[in-house]
Chains A and B, each alone.
Chain A
Amino acid sequence: MSPKGVPEAVIAAVSSEEHPIAPFLRMDRMPHIWCSTCGIGTAVKALVAAFEKLETDLDKVSIVSGIGCTGRVAGYVRLDSFHTTHGRPIPFATGLKLANSELTVIVFSGDGDLSAIGGNHFIHAARRNMDLKVICVNNFIYGMTGGQAAPTTPLTAVTSTTPYGNAEPPFNLCHLAAACGANYVARWTALHVRRLTKAFAEILVKPGFCFVEVITPCSTLYARKNRLGTGLDIMKYYHDNTVIEHGAEPADTDIVFGGPIICGKFVDRDRPTWLEYQDQHLGEVLGDKYYRGKVLQGAGER
């Protein structure tokens, strides 16, 4: 099956010996920079599998990333993508969505980028229920810059900047997104590839602010500093300690160091999106002078 939106020449140039993901990625940039056992590649594969499952037209999809290990995703996918400055993928994606509301805009970034540097943008995009699909790869640490404590680092976990253990309570990103008003909130680990694919397929067709947190192993820094073993040991930890609770109250899904990880689809609701609110309110106030997010000339002179 050839993916929609991929030029024939590209498909022909990909040899039959190449991986089936090749039409979706810039294979000349492979191998990627991610460490052995890093889960970001698995998350990318799950997203591509969701594209294949839905037979998405790739001309109508755009991926925006910020800075960090996960920020590299925008450079590796063979889609219209943009690698923004640190913490700013959501503002960029908001502008992209408003300029061309036909696009499916995916924000694919890390926990530090989305919740620390871009935390303000994150809560306000969720509050407005902006029509974005936010995929947050959470490895509990700043991986690319040397393992500093992130806002998601669990209490007592050791990082480069907290050598005696982290004493700051972390963000629970699912709770944050749900409290701010996101339409869809789910959490999965890099081990749950099938459920992750299903969640991605669901958010691609769901309007409003959709948030999926992907818990991934960082064997180079987080596991090494906390003596958690290899990436495979962390995957086994996910296997043994993950509790799947669909519809769980997001406030009860905090991640505790060494404790169980509660996964599942926590929130799935249908609040009106930002554009629907605008259409409804401004349509009532301005009548004929308003059309799909645009105030036509002469409005305001009543």
Chain B
Amino acid sequence: MRFWRTPLDADKMKIPRGELHIIVERCKGCEFCVEYCPRDVLEMSDEFNSKGYHPPKAVRPENCVNCDLCEMICPEFAIYCLTVEEEPVPVEGGKTS
């Protein structure tokens, strides 16, 4: 992640990571998770599930920050995030780095 200068607490702060799980067969293709993911992790897939809906697929799973918004907004209980052990993310700063 890039900032205009290195944050003073860069060594202490960790960016949370989430592991995305999609229950493809339960999805009804409403696109809410794709539209409202703040990190643009998801995209609609071209494939069908057995009900004939297009489920989402994770195209940038490494961007997931475990915010749980997809899990909260999904009316079908078909997507959820699990917490991954947090690891420090290298911070790229400006002048002071």
Residues of chain A having any CB pair with chain B under 8 Å = 17, 19-21, 25, 30-32, 34-42, 45-46, 49, 190-191, 193-194, 197, 231-232, 235-236
Contact = CB atoms under 8 A, between A and B. Distances in A.
B35 A235 contact: yes
Nearest to B26: A31
Given A19-B77, A21-B77, A25-B77, A45 B71 contact: yes
B97 to A, nearest CB: 34
B32 interface: yes
Contact of B72 (A25, A35, A36, A42): A42
B21 A17 contact: yes
Interface in B19-41: 21, 23, 26, 28-32, 35-36
B75 interface: yes
B72 A30 contact: no
A42 B71 contact: no
Q: By CB atoms of chain B within 10 A, which of A19, A25, A46 has the most?
A: A19
Given A19-B23, A31-B26, A197 B72 contact: yes
B35 A46 contact: no
Contacts of B28: 31, 35-37
19 contacts: A19-B23, A19-B71, A19-B78, A19-B80, A20-B71, A20-B80, A32-B76, A36-B28, A37-B30, A41-B76, A42-B72, A42-B74, A45-B71, A46-B72, A197-B72, A231-B30, A232-B31, A232-B35, A235-B35
B28 to A, nearest CB: 4
B58 interface: no
B30 A36 contact: yes
Interface in B38-97: 53, 69, 71-78, 80
Given A37-B28, A45-B73, A190-B73, 18 more contacts: A19-B77, A19-B80, A20-B71, A31-B28, A31-B76, A36-B28, A36-B30, A38-B75, A40-B75, A41-B76, A42-B73, A42-B74, A42-B75, A45-B72, A49-B72, A193-B73, A194-B72, A231-B30
B68 to A, nearest CB: 9
Contacts of B35: 232, 235-236
Contacts of A41: 74-77
A36 B71 contact: no
Contacts of B77: 19, 21, 25, 30, 41, 45
Nearest to A239: B36
B46 to A, nearest CB: 18
B36 to A, nearest CB: 8
Contacts of A49: 72
A193 B30 contact: no
